[in-house]
């Protein structure tokens, strides 16, 4: 059963949003490769923590996400229910996101259209 950001294993509930998203992505890939569900979850959580913890921790005062939003793109502060700003194109949102990173000692997690993580800056 593939997982998503709204339906995932209980063992992922206490992970940060970015770590959980990565863990879900990895677990789904492992299931596709034929791994047993329990083993896939365990490996995915471990690898997701490695990936997200290897990100420059000096830039973790604030984390913003560039996410798809009703056919457009939005910048959203991590753990916020509301978006900060909406843009017509991903490129426009990326320009604003990079300014936020530079001016606020922040990091930006850029997502793909399907919601998976594309890159972190």
Distance CA 58, CA 73 (A): 27
Q: What pLDDT, on the 0 to 100 scale, is given for residue 55?
A: 54
Question: Is 72 a residue whose pLDDT tops 90?
Answer: yes
Per-residue model confidence as pLDDT tens digits over 26-50: 999 999 999 999 999 999 998 888 8
pTM of the model: 0.53
Question: Is 1 a residue whose pLDDT tops 70?
Answer: no
Per-residue model confidence as pLDDT tens digits over 46-70: 888 887 765 544 445 788 999 999 9
**What pairs with residue 63 in β-bridges?**
107
Question: Is 22 a residue whose pLDDT tops 80?
Answer: yes
Question: How many CB atoms sit inside 10 A of residue 115's CB?
Answer: 14
- Segments in 33-77 forming alpha helices (H): 37-53
Which of residues 106 and 24 earns the better pLDDT score?
Answer: 24
């Amino acid at each position: 059963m593939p997982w998503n950001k709204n339906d995932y294993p209980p063992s992922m509930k206490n992970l940060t949003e970015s770590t959980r998203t990565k863990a879900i992505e990895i677990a789904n890939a492992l299931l596709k490769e034929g791994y047993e569900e329990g083993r896939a979850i365990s490996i995915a959580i471990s690898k997701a923590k490695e990936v997200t913890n290897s990100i420059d921790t000096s830039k973790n005062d604030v984390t913003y996400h560039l996410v798809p939003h009703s056919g457009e793109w939005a910048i959203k502060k991590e753990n916020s229910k509301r978006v900060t700003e909406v843009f017509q194109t991903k490129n426009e949102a990326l320009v604003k996101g990079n300014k936020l990173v530079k001016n606020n000692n922040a990091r930006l997690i850029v997502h793909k259209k399907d919601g998976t993580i594309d890159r972190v800056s």
